[in-house]
Structure 1
Amino acid sequence: MTLAIDLPETSAEDGPAPLSDLVARDAREFGVYARTGGWAFALMVARSVRPGGQRADETPKVSAKEFAELADCSAERVMRYYKAWDRAADDGLVPHFEELAPGQEAELPDADVWLTYYVSRNSATSERGAAISEAAEAEGIRPTKALEVAENPTALRAAILADPSTARAARTALLDRIKEDPELQSALARDVVRTDDLKKAVASESRSADRIGYVRQIAESGQVKTPAGQTIDAPVELRREAERHLSLIDELDEGEDAGEWASEAYDTMKHLVVETVEADPELRVQERRTKFYSSLQRATKVFEELTFDDAQEFYEDDMVQQLEELQQAIGSCIASLRGARRPAAPAEQA
């Protein structure tokens, strides 16, 4: 038995639809733009807009203003493409304007070269824009990106508020800038002292830095100041302990708070210094002597600052009473010191 299978009839209607010329044209134009970027549009300007100084009766080309009106855009936009082509022509990448006629094709550079020549904003031609462009090139980025950010400070603010990494980049940039900008330096300083939270944070960081500096001084110089202000050579054990604390602090991540580590290191060093002084009888005596002289000098300075030229204007009996009490206290101190003097040797007494 033969099995018969009826196959469906095919017709021209079931085949692929013919390619639209309009679609093909769009695809070709898209491909040109994908390969060349803005060069395709710059070519249209270069071959249609007459160079400066050329009269209208010398060429079928039109002015940038006329071309902009036909294109329904601004003359400034047309001129940005014109100038980009002009710069590229000077570098030998594209033909000069005089070599091009309306409708003429030309070999175009790759798209990734376009932004090297095209400046999308008029601000780039100003002094401010030139400075931004120069800084962008120094940082290894395209000037157009930096100019775009500079023209939209609200967007910059939003990014700083929302993104910690952007905030860190902004902080680093400000710190770099204030080195050469005294006005910004003063403005930031005023902002800090007027903001309680910042003022407290600065005081805390300053205290931590001072404490770390104290520990680092011991580790690097091998000397330390006693509570009374003497500078002595740090014992080996004390110096090693300072180095140990410093190594722990230096290993902290950049954003990690060193405050607690600094306090612990500082308190440890202070305690060890006191122990060092107390363990050495001669050093202990010298420490007390230094402390006494320091207190005496401060008291003397304060007393010397008192003036009595116009005492009759502010005199009160209580002042005399306090001075008399002070005189008695000084007398007692003198008596104690005299009594503490060592007795003279027998030969001297004879």
Structure 2
Amino acid sequence: MTIAFTPSESAPVETEPVVVPGPAGSVVVPEPAGPVMAEEPEFWEPSAPGSEEAPESDEAPGSQGVSESRAAPESQEASEHEEDPEPREDRPHDPVVVRDALDFGVYARTGGWAFALKVARSVRPGGQAAEGTARTKVSAKAFAELAGCSPERVMRYYKAWDMAADDGLVPQFEVLVPGEDIELPDADVWLSYYTSRNSASSVRGQAISAAAEAEGIRPTKALEVAENPTALRAAILADPGTAEAARGALLDRMKEDPALQTEMARAFARTDDLKKAVASEAKAADRIGYVRQIVENGQIKTPAGQTVEAPAELRAEAERHLSLLDELDDSEEAGEWAGEAYDTVKGLVAKAVEEDPALRVQERRTKFYNSLQKATKVFEELTLDEVMEEDIYEADMLQRLEALQEAIGTCISALRKATTTS
């Protein structure tokens, strides 16, 4: 978009004198205001007796002037075809360049305030009474037509000035006169009042603006991203840094958004590669949790499910592995090291159980009781009524039940014998 600066008044440029070298010294001649016809080259003549001596030369008297006169047209012709490589700084500046420099300086110091002032002093939105100086003001629509832009853009500048006026930073509209300049605030303050997004006034826009301010960035940046999801997608696909920022933002949002949690879980479960990756990471997380539990609580869980105090040696080894895992957090090697830490700690737990006689007996007792509970539960789930009602009976079923009965009898006899012996 091309921004047209309003022409500003510039002071008349004074004509600088031109210094012309001559044989008797330098003569100051005012530079003509308009084009001047080229004069015939002057010939230098020897001075009269009694005046200063002419510089010595190998050529005969008068030959120097003739040589200069012959060379002058050639040098003049060459200079007409040669261009000045760099403009002379002592030349008068073009008024158009001066105007552009002045306008640029105003914008560099004030930023959008320079344009907001043009709107504030010239626009009278519809519905306001045209009184006093307001009679010469126009509507936002008419101003936009003159400017070649949309009325919405004009009103965004108008509203920015209105908010600043409410804060006492700039004068109210009523005291502004079309064409009159005033002292404007610094450019940095402009961004606190102006937003280039129509969505900023919506509920969604207000939420985005509030989140942007909490993150310490300008709301206009966040609103621009929110209005261009395709651009956001392209940045995430192309840039790892942007993808990482998006991942962190999604994780933070999912903590308070159950619906997003469900959508993300469904998306992962329906994608085979992601489903495998999730299962692998879940396994690694469980193993890290096992090691962390030993370090933080000082207890171990035996293979049979018992929870007992962890030996000092085992706890120290778990701490060493956990510190390494924390250093490798979110790295590609974290899963591999988690498996190694788990296997090492698991082996130390089994060793601790075998080296403690009382713990070893309790571990075997617990393991046997757990197996018995599982078997009992499975047998209780058998529905004998269905076997009698439906024709599902097979000879193999009876053989398996008889074998099970025999094994149970043997187990009961062994337990009774052990009880009698003890």
TM-score by length of structure 2 reads 0.76
2:36 corresponds in structure 1 to none
1:140 corresponds in structure 2 to 216
- Residue 22 (1) aligns with residue 76 (2): no
- Residue 330 (1) aligns with residue 384 (2): no
- Residues 6-57 of structure 1: CA deviation (Å, up to 9, x unaligned): 999999x997553221121111111111111111111110110125542346
Cα displacement (A) at 1:157: 0.9
- Residues 163-214 of structure 1: CA deviation (Å, up to 9, x unaligned): 1111111111111111222221111111111112221121112111111111
Q: Which stretch shifts more, 115-124 or 196-205?
A: 196-205
Distance in structure 2 (CA, Å) of the matches to 1:182 and 1:276: 43
- Residue 123 (1) aligns with residue 123 (2): no
- Residue 35 (1) aligns with residue 109 (2): yes
Distance in structure 2 (CA, Å) of the matches to 1:254 and 1:327: 53
CA contact (8 A) 1:89 1:96 kept: yes
Distance in structure 1 (CA, Å) of the matches to 2:293 and 2:257: 32
Task: For residue 40 of structure 1, give the secondary structure of its aligned residue in structure 2.
Answer: helix
Query: Structure 1 counterpart of 2:327, which letter?
Result: E
1:6-21 mapped onto 2 (5 Å cutoff): 17-21=91-95
Distance in structure 2 (CA, Å) of the matches to 1:272 and 1:253: 24
Task: For residue 224 of structure 1, give the secondary structure of its aligned residue in structure 2.
Answer: strand
CA contact (8 A) 1:51 1:97 kept: no
Cα displacement (A) at 1:3: 4.6
Task: For residue 73 of structure 1, give the secondary structure of its aligned residue in structure 2.
Answer: coil
- Residues 97-118 of structure 1: CA deviation (Å, up to 9, x unaligned): 0011110111111111111111
Distance in structure 2 (CA, Å) of the matches to 1:147 and 1:2: 82
Cα displacement (A) at 1:259: 1.0
CA contact (8 A) 2:125 2:138 kept: no
Cα RMSD for the two superposed structures: 2.3
- Residue 321 (1) aligns with residue 394 (2): no
Distance in structure 2 (CA, Å) of the matches to 1:189 and 1:212: 22
Distance in structure 2 (CA, Å) of the matches to 1:258 and 1:242: 15
Distance in structure 2 (CA, Å) of the matches to 1:331 and 1:53: 101
Computing the radius of gyration from Cα coordinates, the structure with the larger value is: 2
Query: Structure 1 counterpart of 2:402, which letter?
Result: E
Quick one: structure 1 residues 57 and 276, their matched pair in 2 at CA, closer, same or farther if it must change by over 3 Å?
closer
Cα displacement (A) at 1:340: 3.3
Q: Tell me the matched-pair count.
A: 343
CA contact (8 A) 2:125 2:140 kept: no
Aligned with 2:249 (options 170, 173, 191) = 173
Task: For residue 308 of structure 2, give the secondary structure of its aligned residue in structure 1.
Answer: strand
Task: For residue 116 of structure 1, give the secondary structure of its aligned residue in structure 2.
Answer: coil
Task: For residue 310 of structure 1, give the secondary structure of its aligned residue in structure 2.
Answer: helix
Aligned with 1:303 (options 379, 382, 385) = 379
1:248 corresponds in structure 2 to 324
Query: Structure 1 counterpart of 2:308, which letter?
Result: I
Task: For residue 421 of structure 2, give the secondary structure of its aligned residue in structure 1.
Answer: coil
Distance in structure 2 (CA, Å) of the matches to 1:290 and 1:20: 100
Distance in structure 2 (CA, Å) of the matches to 1:104 and 1:87: 20
- Residue 212 (1) aligns with residue 288 (2): yes
Distance in structure 2 (CA, Å) of the matches to 1:310 and 1:162: 62
Q: Which has the higher contact order (CA 8 A, sep 6+)?
A: 1
Question: Where does structure 1 lack aligned partners over 5 or more consecutive residues?
Answer: 345-350
Distance in structure 2 (CA, Å) of the matches to 1:281 and 1:253: 39
1:1-350 mapped onto 2 (5 Å cutoff): 2-3=56-57, 17-51=91-125, 53-56=127-130, 58=132, 59-252=135-328, 254-312=330-388, 313=390, 314-343=392-421
Quick one: structure 1 residues 201 and 105, their matched pair in 2 at CA, closer, same or farther if it must change by over 3 Å?
same
CA contact (8 A) 1:56 1:62 kept: no
Distance in structure 2 (CA, Å) of the matches to 1:270 and 1:66: 80
Task: For residue 113 of structure 1, give the secondary structure of its aligned residue in structure 2.
Answer: helix
Task: For residue 328 of structure 2, give the secondary structure of its aligned residue in structure 1.
Answer: coil
Distance in structure 2 (CA, Å) of the matches to 1:88 and 1:146: 22
Task: For residue 117 of structure 1, give the secondary structure of its aligned residue in structure 2.
Answer: coil
Q: Which stretch shifts more, 215-224 or 66-75?
A: 215-224
Greater percentage in helix: 1
Q: Which stretch shifts more, 309-318 or 119-128?
A: 309-318
Distance in structure 2 (CA, Å) of the matches to 1:126 and 1:44: 27
Distance in structure 1 (CA, Å) of the matches to 2:317 and 2:420: 40
- Residues 202-242 of structure 1: CA deviation (Å, up to 9, x unaligned): 11121111111111221222211111122222111111111
- Residues 49-68 of structure 1: CA deviation (Å, up to 9, x unaligned): 12554234652101111111
CA contact (8 A) 1:160 1:170 kept: yes
Cα displacement (A) at 1:317: 2.7
CA contact (8 A) 1:60 1:102 kept: yes
Task: For residue 174 of structure 1, give the secondary structure of its aligned residue in structure 2.
Answer: helix
- Residues 118-161 of structure 1: CA deviation (Å, up to 9, x unaligned): 11011111111111111111111111000111111111111111
Task: For residue 292 of structure 1, give the secondary structure of its aligned residue in structure 2.
Answer: helix
Stretches (4+) displaced over 4 A:
3-11, 13-17
Distance in structure 1 (CA, Å) of the matches to 2:233 and 2:92: 53
Query: Structure 2 counterpart of 1:219, which letter?
Result: V
